[in-house]
């Protein structure tokens, strides 16, 4: 169970909070919750969705409790960013810069919108899966993702000195 699900939970927590330390704490707390509430899980349920719902509730609770003392999002480790072979070194550098800006801008989104974006765009879940995890209609998921991406696009356009296209 740990090997299969811990990386997903850790990545969800990492992209949500923006710090490795918080992500580690949150992953442990979420697994503690999982072990104590595993009796509530029923066989007919989708386990991944059930676990991610548990994680989502914990992340939102924690966010609401600690939003005043919220720590800053760490710098995204650029060494982890992959280089596209079809792009020149300059364009790869520009793309990494954009990725770092987008990563920083995730903090500007509301927690619910941020979670939708992380689940759909970063973790690659479908609209239906996100809807099940967040316990909201598919239409609401689409609208949150639309809203979140547009907000990030505006922030990106504002922060970038030159308003060019894709590198």
Partner 1 sequence: MRCQQIEEKLNDYLEGYLNPPEAEAIEKHLQQCSNCRQLFLALQEVRLSLQKMPQITIPPSLVENLYQLPATQKRRRFSWHRLLSHPLPQQLTAALASLLLAISFYSLMPNRQALVNYLNQQFHLGYHRISRLVTKAEYLTVNLEKVGDSLKIPIQSLKEEKPKD
In whole angstroms, the minimum distance from the beta carbon of 40 to partner 1 comes to: 16
In whole angstroms, the minimum distance from the beta carbon of 98 to partner 1 comes to: 5
Figure out which of the listed residues 117, 119, 131, 133 binds partner 1, where binding follows CB under 8 A: 117
Stretch that binds partner 1, among 47-55, 61-69, 76-84, 130-138 (CB under 8 A): 76-84
- The smaller minimum CB distance to partner 1, of residues 60 and 155, is found at 155
Q: Is 134 exposed, middle or buried (0-12, 13-18, 19+ CB in 10 A)?
A: buried
- Name 155's Cβ contacts closer than 8 Å, sequence gap at least 6: 101, 105, 108
Stretch that binds partner 1, among 44-52, 62-70, 74-82, 130-138 (CB under 8 A): 74-82
In whole angstroms, the minimum distance from the beta carbon of 68 to partner 1 comes to: 27
- The smaller minimum CB distance to partner 1, of residues 67 and 108, is found at 108
- Name 125's Cβ contacts closer than 8 Å, sequence gap at least 6: 119, 133
Q: Check binding of 28 to partner 1 (CB under 8 A).
A: yes
Q: Check binding of 7 to partner 1 (CB under 8 A).
A: yes
Contact 30, 9 (CB under 8 A): yes
In whole angstroms, what is the distance from residue 15 CA to residue 103 CA?
A: 8
- Name 38's Cβ contacts closer than 8 Å, sequence gap at least 6: none
Contact 11, 122 (CB under 8 A): yes
With both helix axes pointing from N to C terminus, report the angle between 2-17 and 20-37 in degrees, rounded to the nearest 10. 130
Chain positions contacting partner 1, by CB under 8 A? 2-3, 6-7, 10-11, 14-15, 20, 23-24, 27-28, 31-32, 35-36, 76-77, 80-82, 95, 98-99, 102-103, 117, 121-122, 124, 142, 145-146, 149-150, 152-154, 156-157, 163-166
């Amino acid at each position: 169970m740990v090997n299969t699900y811990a990386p997903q939970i850790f990545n969800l927590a990492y992209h949500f909070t923006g710090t490795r330390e918080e992500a580690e704490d949150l992953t442990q707390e979420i697994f503690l919750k999982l072990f104590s509430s595993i009796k509530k899980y029923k066989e007919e349920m989708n386990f991944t969705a059930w676990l991610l719902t548990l994680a989502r509730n914990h992340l939102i609770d924690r966010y609401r409790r600690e939003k005043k003392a919220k720590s800053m999002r760490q710098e995204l480790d650029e060494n982890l960013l992959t280089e596209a072979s079809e792009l020149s070194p300059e364009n790869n550098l520009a793309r990494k810069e954009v990725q770092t800006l987008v990563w920083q801008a995730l903090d500007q989104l509301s927690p619910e919108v941020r979670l939708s974006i992380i689940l759909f765009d970063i973790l690659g879940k479908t609209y239906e899966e996100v809807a099940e995890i967040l316990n909201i209609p598919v239409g609401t998921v689409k609208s949150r993702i639309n809203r979140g991406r547009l907000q990030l696009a505006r922030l990106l356009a504002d922060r970038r000195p030159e308003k060019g296209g894709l590198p």
